[in-house]
Amino acid sequence: MKEINEEIHSQILSLYKNKEIKYRIKSRLDYLTRIYIRGGTRLWAELVFCLLTPQSKARNACKAIAELYQKDLLYSKDVAQISLVLKKHVRFHNNKSLYILEAGTNFDNICSFINDTDDKVDLRNNLFKQIKGMGMKEASHFLRNIGFGHDVAILDRHILRVMDSLNILPENISIKDSLTLSRYLEIEASLRLYSKDTKIPLEYIDFVFWYKATNDIFK
């Protein structure tokens, strides 16, 4: 069994206990929970955001969402116009415009599925299967961004690097490995164990690790 990097571990605990950082995280999570309660455009925008983030910066995805909204294209079926906007901000704009269109067609069913599924891990696993263009990371991100991030992990490159520096990646997995479904679930289990041991809620860990990696708190 690997030995945890105590220096990095101590830094993580200090960040989590920092009153200002903890307040910012709690405020962010409270805001995200209200998105699901209110539903409508904000809920749809979060889904679109998570479809835009693969291999693109989160802040750029937000810029794309803002421009789609300003140009009244957030609910549009005009794939060409959506693609032109996305081209300015994110990679794979043509594919992502098609993913948005398909998700929009099924959005009512997606919302019903969310409402009817109590087990959020199972919900995440099924969103990954049902929504084209949404991987495990993006499905987890979407759930966290609507207040259901208690049991799922957002394993982006920043989180994986911090896990690697902590020495809590599973023994058989390297940060250089492709993130297959089985590897994702194995790494998530390891992070969930770290969450339990440190008593840092899983939805907080994402923000704490992100802050450790980027000195920022974002979506």
Helices marked H in 53-180: 58-70, 79-87, 93-105, 107-116, 120-130, 136-144, 157-166
168-186 per-position pLDDT tens digit: 999 989 988 989 999 999 9
Beta-carbon count within 10 A of 91 CB: 14
pLDDT digits (tens, 9 = 90+) for 75-95: 999 999 999 999 999 999 999
What's the chain's length in residues? 219
- In the residue annotation, 151 being an active-site residue is answered as no
pLDDT of res. 181: 92
Q: What is the CA radius of gyration of the chain?
A: 17
Residue 86 to residues 72, 79, 168: CA-CA distances in angstroms? 14, 10, 36
Q: Which pLDDT score, from 0 to 100, does residue 37 have?
A: 83
List the domains of the chain with CATH numbers: 6-32+153-214 (1.10.1670), 38-144 (1.10.340.30)
What pLDDT does residue 219 have? Answer: 62
The tens digit of pLDDT for each residue in 39-65 reads: 888 999 999 999 999 999 989 999 999
Note if 122 is an active site residue.
no
pLDDT of residue 1: 54
Catalytic residue from among 96, 120, 151, 156: 156
Pair 23, 208: CB distance under 8 Å? no
Read off the pLDDT band of 18 (50, 70, 90). very high
Contact 59, 89 (CB under 8 A): no
Catalytic option among 96, 120, 137, 219: 137
CB 29 within 8 A of CB 59: no
Q: What mean pLDDT do residues 31-46 have? A: 88
For residues 73 and 77, what is the distance between their CA atoms, to the nearest angstrom? 8
Q: In the prediction, which pLDDT does 117 show?
A: 84
pLDDT in tens, 203-218: 899 999 999 998 888 7
Q: What kind and span of H or E run contains 182?
A: helix 181-198
